[in-house]
Chains A and B, each alone.
Chain A
Amino acid sequence: MSTPSIDVHELTRIYRRRGSALTAVDRMTFTIEPGESVGYIGANGAGKSTTIKMLTGILRPTSGTVRTCGLDPQRRRQDVARRIGVVFGQRSQLWWDLPLAESFAILGSIHRLDAATTRARTDELVERLEMGPTLATPVRQLSLGQRMRAEIAAALLHRPQLLVLDEPTIGLDVLSKQRLREFLRDQRAAYGTTLLLTTHDMGDIERLCERVLLVDHGRLAFDGTLSGLAATVSARRVLVVDLAAPCADLVDIPGTEHLGSEAEGLRQRLALAAGRRVGAGVSIAQVLATIAERAEVRDLTVEEPDIEDVVRRVYAASRDLP
């Protein structure tokens, strides 16, 4: 059996300030195997950043154990650093007053890559992330999207076994996000890199992660697939139809539940059954066909379940437990 990329057991971190104690991470236990792609989600202050700081050796656990690539990040921080790449969305690991290319050269030297390897790897990353035109630009002059791509390239320069991304797509436009996700998928496919990312973006999770860890008040509230998460809280897509003429409430449409109507039934909101597909063997086409029998549909939109909403529902459900 291979060594897990991350192995966390009963991990706890308590912040103590002026007599008061805050338990940021509370007896958390999970394992991530090499090659997995895991989304680590939760509300702000749920303990995501604290966990990542303990995984990378920045922060000392109050109790419990952490093994990153099989090593204790407190005792062997530098060895762990050689095996992992980390991108903190809000913190740069580049040299802001130097041209971008120099940051790659310095990082290559820090990771003890020889000049040829550094150059070959830099060329590969620059090409894949389309950073050619920005190489001579001082880092402080890069746009947010350019800088984020550069940060990810910098974290991948030494071909880490594990890539930890803290909010990698925050503030990026739709196209940049999409390109970044494609790039990360390719890197995983090519090198089998394990991926752990925290995000508020449902799209990141949907397109990058096979597994979701949801943390609530420092505890692991869910560990499984995204669809499993959506199913546990019956997070549903909502179909919004605008009709040509006022119409009675569209109740009893198979595979849906009527949520409400506006303007005498001109606009109606129907929840589609849980999961990625409409449940009970009813397709969305059938749902629309049934509606069309009763009224003329002018326009329609489908609202995706929002990650924040899913998280809120899981939190609410866990509060209800005795």
Chain B
Amino acid sequence: MAEPTRGGSLAAYRTILRARMRAQASYRISFATDLLGTLLVGLTELAEVWVIYHNVPLLGGLDFAAALLVFGVTNICFAAADLVVGHLDTVPSLVRAGTIDAFYVRPLSLLGQLVTSDISLRRIGRLTVGIVVLAIAWSAAGVAPTLTNATLLGLALVSGTAIFAGLFTIAAGLQFFLIDGREFTNSFVYGGSYAAQQSSLVYPPPVRVLFTFVVPSAFVGYLPAIALIGLPGGPIADPAWAWWSPLAALAVWVAAALAWRSGTTHYQGGGG
């Protein structure tokens, strides 16, 4: 019996993912409507930002262009995380169907199997909205095209995606305990995503602390945006902190690892 190699598992995941994509591609109409759906969700949220700024010139220290920058970065990160691990919130139904038990008796990591059990290509719709908005906002907000700014943006996109992916994983870990807890876990995943689209300054300080140091969604869009544009920020909202976004992502991942580990340890099997 050959000893396991990492290349071996990667090949297995590739095979699984290819099969998943083929399965999705075989339902063309449903795929097209799903894609359109996520595109519309992205556009609706964009319209919301536009409506707000149609009425007020500044909100939480951000003008329309700056808000678009925050919106673009946040949406790219959320859609990318959603694409890769968004289906982790199906843990309860997988538990009920016994699919998780089947995962346990295969020689692959549980999380790896869960992540590759689906790939939500339809989320490309929202990703596209994010990319287009970011491109427009970048020039509208007058961000200088320097190497420093490009690095900061890259850092923000990677860390932001990691933060959302971590939040999804925490939710999945908790759902081993709370089989009917999807509403609860959704509230902080989607709540975190919504919070990330706002300026930290619209929140009173306790809430600002929450969305900076507990659910670090401020690190996804707002802090990088004010750093890129050169805005001053405010109390508990320092643009220099934007460079620390990888640290915020790391903290979320530590929490995610703990939640996942305790969830799978607590697992009692799918009944029967």
A residues sitting closer than 8 Å to B (CB atoms) are 15, 49-50, 53, 56-60, 77-79, 81-84, 86, 88, 90-93, 95, 97-98, 102, 105-106, 109-112
Contact = CB atoms under 8 A, between A and B. Distances in A.
Contact of B107 (A88, A90, A102, A110): A110
8 contacts: A15-B268, A58-B269, A79-B4, A88-B272, A92-B99, A93-B106, A109-B12, A112-B4
A106 B268 contact: no
A98 B268 CA distance: 29
Given A49-B272, A91-B99, A92-B98, A110 B104 contact: no
B16 interface: yes
Nearest to B5: A112
A111 B107 contact: yes
B154 interface: no
Nearest to A93: B102
Instruction: Report, nearest first, the 4 A-B pairs whose CB atoms are least far apart.
Output: A91-B98, A109-B15, A93-B102, A81-B107
Contacts, number: 84
Q: Is the interface of A mostly helix, strand, loop or mixed?
A: mixed
User: Looking at chain B, what size class is its interface with the partner chain?
Assistant: 20 to 34
A106 B101 CA distance: 17
A49 B269 contact: yes
Contacts of A78: 4, 107-109
A3 B106 CA distance: 22
Given A53-B269, A110-B107, A91 B101 contact: yes
Contacts of A110: 12, 15-16, 106-108
B97 interface: yes
Interface in B115-152: none
Contacts of B60: none
B102 A91 contact: yes
Interface of B: 1-2, 4, 8, 11-12, 15-16, 19, 22-23, 97-99, 101-102, 104-109, 265, 267-270, 272
A82 B9 CA distance: 13
A93 B23 CA distance: 17
Given A50-B269, A109-B11, 4 more contacts: A56-B105, A57-B104, A78-B107, A111-B107
Contact of B268 (A59, A79, A95, A109): A59
B99 to A, nearest CB: 7
A203 B247 CA distance: 62
B19 A102 contact: yes
B2 A112 contact: yes
A112 B8 contact: yes
Contacts of B16: 106, 109-110
A119 to B, nearest CB: 14
Contacts of B107: 78-79, 81-82, 110-112
Contacts of B11: 109, 112
Nearest to A91: B98
B47 to A, nearest CB: 35
Contacts of B272: 49, 88, 90-91
Nearest to A17: B268
Contact of A58 (B2, B4, B267): B267
Contact of B15 (A58, A84, A106): A106
A57 B264 CA distance: 11
Contact of B104 (A58, A79, A111): A58
A262 B4 CA distance: 68
A93 B117 CA distance: 12
Contacts of A112: 2, 4, 8, 11-12, 107
A50 to B, nearest CB: 8
B22 to A, nearest CB: 8
B267 A59 contact: yes
Nearest to B113: A110
Contacts of A86: 105
Given A88-B101, A112-B8, A105 B108 contact: no
A161 to B, nearest CB: 10
Nearest to B117: A95
